[in-house]
Amino acid sequence: MSAVQDQGPPAHRLSDHQGEQRQPSSTTSPPMCLADLASVAARRVDPAHRDFIAGGAGDERTLRANLDAFDRARVLPRVLRVVGPRDLRVRLFGQTLALPVLVSPTAFHRLVHPEGETATARAVAAAGTVMVVSMAATRTVEDVAAAFAAASRAPDGPIAPWFQLYPGPDRDLTRCLVRRAQNAGCRALVVTVDSPVLGRRLRDLRNGFLDLPAGLACENLRDPGTGVPRPVTMDDSAGWDVIARLRDWTPLPIVLKGVLHPADARLAVEHGADAVLVSNHGGRQLDGAPATLAALPAVVEAVGGRIPVLLDGGIRRGADVLVALALGADAVGVGRPVLWGLAADGERGVRTVLDLLRAELDAALALAGARTPGDLAPDQITGINGNAGAGGHAATSGCAG
């Protein structure tokens, strides 16, 4: 993976690559928002690795669309609603999360911090929410789950991480990963279905960033016999039968990640998925796919409350979380901001990301006239384009994710 420095978007906007152009108010002042952490991270991370994290596929239209959709959204507050102390908790698969924000799977945490995913796990567990461990993690799922369990501070019973996998062509390997995740105590499987092939990420191609640096590896993919890590392999022949196959192997709830079309949301319910995650992989797969916020209302309608609907892509503020919840998401995921936190300040930086989102969401809820996310209504959100649109070869890369 790799990429060339692009020109980046206008400096006034807050986000991934934009954030990298902003200077924090002072190098010593604590971060006040996620963009502050992006600025610190940008100065600490190798430029090719920074591009890997910040970049998207093609012209990065979908990457920008995710951010633009939240920038455009406006919240109509309700007043005099006796909001009282807010309750941000959400229940998913029998676990109560302290806030409706979970950590989406991202590959290669050791690119930005020597401890990698175990530091992330401790921070997320202490914040009382869920981390989705990437199949392409640079720590084993056993190590991450153990770090998570040791730090878990959930107020309403224990929380365990979830495990993400790509439906790969090697069924023995996939089955082995499912078993390992389950034995490590993971509470759900997140199956990423937006990746029959790897998106064309021009930054990575231009930078020649096509493999992990020496000393780092996808630790979950080591061959049990030789110990040599296998590449992340995508499967362009995967079909809906993947859900039934996984069901045969595990009782864990199955979350389909990467659903954007309402017809696919209906199919997900019919095939027995336990949740859908509305995602375009942070703009890293199909460039031209709609913003996840634009796709959300039609998916929520298609699912009709039968299973939870989650969303990720472009969440950078507590108010963004509020907008997604008001439009029917049960919870949201964050990807890049967690890597900014990890790069900026390790475990503490990740904790700061979640604490900032919690504080911002708490204030935004009160100001919008809601005590709980369930008090929000879609008619409070204006300014978004609600039209979602319609919308094996084994592409392998050590840098998939």
Residues lying near ligand FNR in the complex (CB under 6 A) are found at 52-53, 66, 104-107, 134, 136, 164, 192, 257, 279, 281-282, 284, 312-315, 334-336, 401
Helix 241-249 with 171-183: angle, nearest 10 deg: 50
List residues bridging with 277 in a β-sheet: 257, 310
Residue 157 CB, shortest distance to ligand FNR, in Å, is 26
Longest Cα–Cα distance of the chain, Å, equals 65
Q: Which is nearer to ligand FNR, 152 or 192 (CB)?
A: 192
- The verdict on whether 393 is a catalytic residue reads no
Q: Which is nearer to ligand FNR, 53 or 364 (CB)?
A: 53
Q: Which is nearer to ligand FNR, 152 or 220 (CB)?
A: 220
CB 177 within 8 A of CB 233: no
Q: Which amino acid is at 262?
A: P
Residue nearest to ligand FNR (CB): 335
Render 240-290 in DSSP notation, one character per residue. THHHHHHHHH--S-EEEEEE-SHHHHHHHHHTT-SEEEE--GGGTSSTTPP
Residue 363 CB, shortest distance to ligand FNR, in Å, is 21
Residue 130 CB, shortest distance to ligand FNR, in Å, is 13
Question: What are 384's two structure tokens?
Answer: 């978004």
Torsion, CA 243, CA 249, CA 254, CA 258, rounded to 10? -50
Question: What are 3's two structure tokens?
Answer: 């990429």
The rounded Cα 11 to chain-centroid distance in angstroms is 24
Q: Which is nearer to ligand FNR, 260 or 376 (CB)?
A: 260
Question: What are 166's two structure tokens?
Answer: 């790509």
Residue 76 CB, shortest distance to ligand FNR, in Å, is 25
Q: Which of 49, 109, 261, 281 is catalytic?
A: 281
Residue 191 CB, shortest distance to ligand FNR, in Å, is 9
Q: Which is nearer to ligand FNR, 100 or 282 (CB)?
A: 282
Just list the catalytic residues.
281
